Amino acid sequence: MVYLLKLAINDLRNIIRDRFFVFAFFAYPIMIILFSRIIIHMIAPRIENIFPLAANFSLLFLLFITIIPFIFSFISAFLILDERDEHLLTVLRVMPISRTNFLTFRMFFMSLFAFIVLLIFPPLSGLVDNTNFSYLAYIPVAALFALFTPFGALLVSSFASNKVQAFAIFKIGGTVFMLPLFAFFLNLDNLKYIFSPVPNFWSLLTLDSVVQKGTVDIISLAIGFTFHIALIVALFYVFNKKY
């Protein structure tokens, strides 16, 4: 427990000492909430004749929920890259806490913050219809989305040799992981399953069921958890082998 507390304090110090991390960790989630709650609701009636934005609030909700864990995976990946460059991960091989435990904690720490932001976003955003939306049904879905944080962090830190490559992977990954949103925007019905190889497709499919029906699609939820956990374990293995 003492080691965990020290690691948590160390992570917070590493975040606070970097302005970019401070912005991403604290300011960016707040900006997303304020943008969805204030700006979007101000714009919607003014462009109703051009585009029915209010009718697509649920799609915007899916978009923002996808972005939130992506932010924390970005921070986590860059913290790992910093520690890798400073050879801290090598030093951990002879420390009382193993490197596996250290990385596991790092993943849990960032996932926890992603989960908290994901939990508070629905009531604060004003983008969901409370008559259909079930908050209790949403909680396991939020946990599933939070799993994207360790997946994204390990994906980048496993294959990026430096921060320039990390930025490139995040840009490409950001495009790929946003693609499943088109399945819901275009109402592709069964054709939407062409996006099934993208991990967060199953998260979005489960979330869409909660938003539209107020119920959890258990099959999609189970596939989503299994898919993410399998990828995290595989990436964990790749990272440990390489570094």
Got the DSSP string for 64-117?
Answer: HHHHHHHHHHHHHHHHHHHHHHTTHHHHGGGSSS-HHHHHHHHHHHHHHHHHHH
CA distance 111 to 145: 9
Q: Token pair for residue 141?
A: 């879905």
pLDDT at residue 98, as a whole number: 65
Q: Report d(CA 68, CA 51) in Å as an integer.
A: 25
Quote the Cα angle for 35-38-177, to 5°: 30
Sign of the dihedral through C-alpha 137, 139, 140, 141? positive
Could you please report the per-residue DSSP string of 125-166?
A: H--S-TTT--HHHHHHHHHHHHTHHHHHHHHHHHH-SSHHHH
pLDDT at 197: 93
Alpha-carbon gap, residue 36 to 17, rounded angstroms? 29
Cα–Cα distance for residue pair 201/23, rounded to 1 Å: 28
How far is CA 186 from each of CA 47, 167, 191, 214, rounded to the nearest angstrom? Answer: 20, 29, 10, 21
Q: Which residues contact 142 (CB under 8 A, 6 or more apart)?
A: 115, 118, 119
Domain boundaries, the chain: 2-242
Q: For residues 186 and 50, give the distance between their C-alpha atoms in angstroms, rounded to a whole number.
A: 18
pLDDT value at residue 183: 85
What was the pLDDT predicted at 225? 97
Torsion over CA: 90, 9, 122, 144 (sign): positive
- Return d(Cα 160, Cα 10) in angstroms, integer: 23
Distances (CA, A) of 131 to 134, 159, 210, 211: 8, 44, 11, 10
pLDDT 10s digit of each residue in the chain, 243 long?
555 566 666 667 767 777 777 777 888 899 999 999 999 989 988 888 888 888 889 899 999 999 999 999 988 888 888 777 666 555 555 555 666 777 777 788 889 999 999 999 999 998 987 778 889 999 999 999 999 999 999 999 888 888 888 888 888 888 899 999 988 887 777 788 999 999 999 999 999 999 989 899 999 999 999 999 999 999 988 888 876
What does the pLDDT read at residue 79?
A: 83
pTM value is: 0.89
